[in-house]
Amino acid sequence: MRILNSEASDAEIQRHELLCNTEDWAKPEFMYLKETHQLLVGTLPLLSDGVSNQDSISSEALNRLVSGIRSHPPLSGTTRADGEIYEHLVRKIKNLPTLPIVLDEINKALHKEDANVLDVEELMSGDKSLTTTVLRVANSAHFGLPQRVFSLNQAISIMGFNDVQHIVLTASVISSFGNVSKRFFTLHNFWRHSIGVALATSRIGKELGIGGEDRILYTCGLLHDIGKVGNLLLDTKGYLQLIQKSMETGIDLDQLEKEEVFPEHSMLGEAICERWQLPSTIHRAIRFHHEPDADKRGTLPDEINQAADCIYLANQIVRENQFGYSGNAGSTTPATAVLDRLGLHSIQLEEIRGSVEEELNEAHGLLDVLTREAGVA
């Protein structure tokens, strides 16, 4: 509407042109809107106390009228929800990997009431790369075992089901994206940041007793920035320039995405996780991990809001500790609204910070093994 009324900014014009050039639905909808605009410009003066010498109508006045008109045919239903646009973008990503089937099978096995080591060992034994990774992690300094472990059975028994789930998920995600994304920016630092946020999100959830299952929180943290990889696959050069601009200006990357007409990585990440058929708690929490204002998130279950808050705080603390780097050079100061919802004040926040820092310090050896196995160290 602002474009038709010659009030649009350069960024709005660029976004409009991008949509019209790349989305099949955009041009027809714009034509509907243009026809409506012309109709209103021609008829509104006649309905305004006979005033007929208006040269233009403000966008505010037109928006009020068009909002009413859009609720009736032929314009009803022509505006696509953001979710549909991002689903379409995900379909356009070339070489978007799928998560290995064995990952889903292992998760299902571990969630059975009668889950046992032998079942998990049998599933993992068919994937030699995954088996090697788990054994090397079990033998790393992270676990500090007095003697080497040579079998999956031993490794699973020592690490426990939760750690096995974390390792399997992390190794699967990193290796899946390793081949398609290693040419972009320093992957070791990107995955280091992602694993750090995964560990921190899980730790914060445990400390506060919120956010649902540990497996869910860890996955939320690990995949919170997966939309950035999607953006790099869609437009490598453009997104690297945006990352560089964040580094130079200190502006949050998610803010620059909005200003520079880029797909928002949080929404793209949500669409990727939906494509992978991950639980709704994961993809909805990822969608809102940069939104501290609960009102702007809309009506969400407490578990999702809590998970999003845990990711948000974990992300800030991990960035504050400069643990890896994901392309965002913005502020690391946590929003007061998030801290209030989590019930954290200065003393409790410092305790959480210390707890997360301890988790990150203990994880150095684990991270080195995981990234080296995936070929991104």
pLDDT at 211 over 70: no
Percent with pLDDT over 70 in the chain: 69
CATH code of the domain made up of 101-373: 1.10.3210.10
Q: Which residue has the higher pLDDT, 247 or 69?
A: 247
Question: Which uninterrupted H or E stretch holds 44?
Answer: helix 26-47
Cis peptide before 100 (omega within 30 of 0): no
- pLDDT average, residue stretch 349-362: 88
Eight-state DSSP code of residue 134: H
Provide the mean pLDDT of the chain: 77
State the pLDDT confidence band at 178, using cuts at 50, 70 and 90: low
How does DSSP assign 197-240, residue by residue? Answer: HHHHHHHHHHHHT-SS-HHHHHHHHHHTTHHHHHHHHH-HHHHH
3-state helix, strand, coil in the chain (%, to 5): 65, 0, 35
Cα gap 377→370, rounded to integer Å:
8
What is the per-residue burial (b if ≥16 Cβ within 10 Å, else e) of 249-269? eebebbebbeeebbbbbbbbb
Domain boundaries of the chain, sorted by first residue? 10-80, 101-373
Chain segment 33-80, per-residue pLDDT in tens:
666 656 555 554 544 444 444 445 455 554 555 455 444 443 333 334
Can you tell me the mean pLDDT for 75-86?
54
Residue 308: pLDDT above 90? yes
Which pLDDT score, from 0 to 100, does residue 149 have?
84
Distance CA 18, CA 260 (A): 12
Choice among 8-22, 73-87, 284-298, 342-356 with the minimum mean pLDDT: 73-87
Confidence check: pLDDT of 32 > 80? no
* Distance separating alpha carbons of residues 142 and 130, to the nearest angstrom: 18
- Among the listed ranges 118-127, 253-262, 338-347, which one has the minimum average pLDDT value? 118-127
CA–CA gap between residue 171 and residue 334 (Å, rounded):
30
pLDDT in tens, 102-113: 677 777 776 676
